[in-house]
Amino acid sequence: MTNIPVPFFDLTRQFSSMEGEMLAAVVPLFRSQQFILGEAVSSFEEAFSKTLGVGRSIGVSSGTDALVVALLAAGLRPGQGVLVPSFTFFATAGAVVLAGGVPIFVDVDPASYLMTPRIVEDFLGRETAVSGHGSLRTRRGEIPVAGLLPVHLYGRMVDMEALSGVAQRHGLFVVEDACQSVGATFQGRPPGVFSQAVAYSFFPTKNLGAAGDAGMITANDPAIADHCLRLRVHGSRKRYEHEEMGMNARLDALQARVLSVKLSRLDGWTRRRQELARRYNESFSGLPGVTVPVDPELAGGRSGHVYHQYTLRVLREGRRDRMRAFLSERSIGSEVYYPIPLHCQKAFSDNPTIHGPLSVSEALSREVVSLPVFPELTDEEQERVIGAVRDVLSS
């Protein structure tokens, strides 16, 4: 077998497949020198809503800013708490703090790695109480609980209908972190149907990636969508009149043009990701010592999971790191998302709601490994990855 390196990810392949079209899309902006908002942004926002079948789209400067603006528009007030899974990227909880709130970390489900309705319900029952003023507060730290921030991790969606039922029973808002799951569905429905707002990231390595930082918010409620529009331009609807505090969180026109070119290809890329995931699952299911992503729909070819990451769980202490070292010796890329759960991060060490271990998040941080799954990965490259993983598991 050859030893040609298999990259974990390679965006240059994608660009070379569309170089001419991409450059033709951005040159007119340089000619006009119109870089802020305008037709480039509004036409991408419309195309995004239409292509994904989601509510009103508001282009913003990053996934992090999408989360901050969405949380503010959903009604988060200073000092209020938002439930977030501990097993996610830093920005999920970072955005809660940037928006003036307090992240309240909960564990994730051992089968899906997601913050599920059951986990939220159990947490609220165990760790919160209704105060004299009728508001829900954490027992530790007395933080008023205002909302839920589920994360559709690795491209797989939380059951939002069930989660929104829990939120409604407790009077909480819901903002979805869909930064890893553009194009994903659950039972045929995209993010946004059962929440106040959804945040997407177009960081270059996401499934739909810009040529730099970019993001999007979607909202079905026109009042929330209008509020997001205001918050992204200094709290202003009319030039030089500021109704409230806001940010500079606009989507760049250049990024909108780049993203418009890529959006029409997203569905094909997603199907290729699912095809690669299917082959990995067929190759690894039943092997001792590893758990593959649970996705019953994948075999039939109609999965709603968009496989931003294809992630194995390698059981037994130390085995994951040995597997990574072995892959690296064979010049095969792999990554760990994420090696430290958020409740263990120094940045959150003064959080008054943290107590005791979140055992699933902590176990996952030691046991997960993501394999190459980008759409341009060739079948031959994937065979090399599969062969190496099989070898290491049988050694």
Q: Per CB under 6 A, does 181 bind ligand PLP? A: no
- Give 180 or 303: the residue with its C-beta nearer to ligand PLP: 180
Q: Per CB under 6 A, does 89 bind ligand PLP? A: yes
CA-based R_g, the chain, Å: 21
Q: Which of 45, 107, 176, 213 binds ligand PLP (CB under 6 A)?
A: 213
Single out the segment in contact with ligand PLP by CB under 6 A; choices: 26-34, 159-167, 173-181, 324-332.
Answer: 173-181
CB neighbour class for 92 (10 Å; exposed up to 12, middle 13-18, buried from 19) = buried
Alpha helices in 242-334 (DSSP H): 253-263, 266-284, 319-329
Single out the segment in contact with ligand PLP by CB under 6 A; choices: 89-97, 112-120, 225-233, 322-330.
Answer: 89-97
User: In the numeric block, which tokens belong to residue 148?
Assistant: 């839920």
* CA dist., res. 27 & res. 30, Å (int): 5
Q: Which of 86, 92, 218, 370 binds ligand PLP (CB under 6 A)?
A: 92
Q: Per CB under 6 A, does 203 bind ligand PLP? A: yes
CA 277 to chain centre: 18
Q: Per CB under 6 A, does 306 bind ligand PLP? A: no
x/- letters, 182..201, toward ligand PLP (CB under 6 A): -------------------x
Q: For the residues of 129-188, what is the DSSP string, one character each?
A: EE-TTS-EEETTT-PBEEEE--B-GGG----HHHHHHHHHHHT-EEEEE-TT-TT--BTT
* CA dist., res. 156 & res. 178, Å (int): 9
* CA dist., res. 199 & res. 104, Å (int): 19
Query: How many residues of this chain interact with ligand PLP, rule: CB under 6 A?
Result: 15
Q: Which of 70, 76, 93, 179 binds ligand PLP (CB under 6 A)?
A: 179
Bridge-based pairing state of the strands 197-201 and 173-177: parallel
Q: How far is the CB of 177 from ligand PLP (least distance, A)?
A: 5
The maximal CA–CA distance of the chain, rounded, in angstroms, is 70
CA distances from 76 to 70, 160, 181, 280 (A): 9, 20, 24, 41
Q: Which of 71, 91, 219, 314 binds ligand PLP (CB under 6 A)?
A: 91
Exposure string (b/e) for 353-387, b if CB count within 10 Å is 16 or more? bbeeebebbbbbbbbbbbbbbbbbbeeebbebbbe
Residue nearest ligand PLP, Cβ-based: 63
Q: Which of 191, 215, 246, 375 binds ligand PLP (CB under 6 A)?
A: 215
- Give 91 or 276: the residue with its C-beta nearer to ligand PLP: 91
- Give 173 or 203: the residue with its C-beta nearer to ligand PLP: 203
- Give 89 or 123: the residue with its C-beta nearer to ligand PLP: 89
Q: Which residues contact 379 (CB under 8 A, 6 or more apart)?
A: none
- Give 67 or 277: the residue with its C-beta nearer to ligand PLP: 67
Single out the segment in contact with ligand PLP by CB under 6 A; choices: 6-14, 108-116, 177-185, 320-328.
Answer: 177-185
x/- letters, 138..167, toward ligand PLP (CB under 6 A): -------------x----------------
- Give 158 or 388: the residue with its C-beta nearer to ligand PLP: 158
x/- letters, 59..88, toward ligand PLP (CB under 6 A): ---xxx-----------------------x
Q: How far is the CB of 94 from ligand PLP (least distance, A)?
A: 8
- Give 86 or 382: the residue with its C-beta nearer to ligand PLP: 86
x/- letters, 366..385, toward ligand PLP (CB under 6 A): --------------------
* CA dist., res. 169 & res. 15, Å (int): 47
* CA dist., res. 347 & res. 325, Å (int): 29
Query: Which residue type is seen at 250?
Result: R
Q: How far is the CB of 148 from ligand PLP (least distance, A)?
A: 15
Q: Which of 171, 147, 156, 165 is nearest to 71 (CA)?
A: 147
- Give 210 or 354: the residue with its C-beta nearer to ligand PLP: 210
CA distances from 59 to 200, 219, 228, 248, 282 (A): 9, 12, 10, 12, 38
User: In the numeric block, which tokens belong to residue 319?
Assistant: 């085995």
Q: Per CB under 6 A, does 255 bind ligand PLP? A: no
CA dihedral 146, 351, 92, 101 (to 10 degrees): 40
Which stretches of the chain bind ligand PLP, using CB under 6 A?
A: 62-64, 88-89, 91-92, 151, 177, 179-180, 201, 203, 213, 215
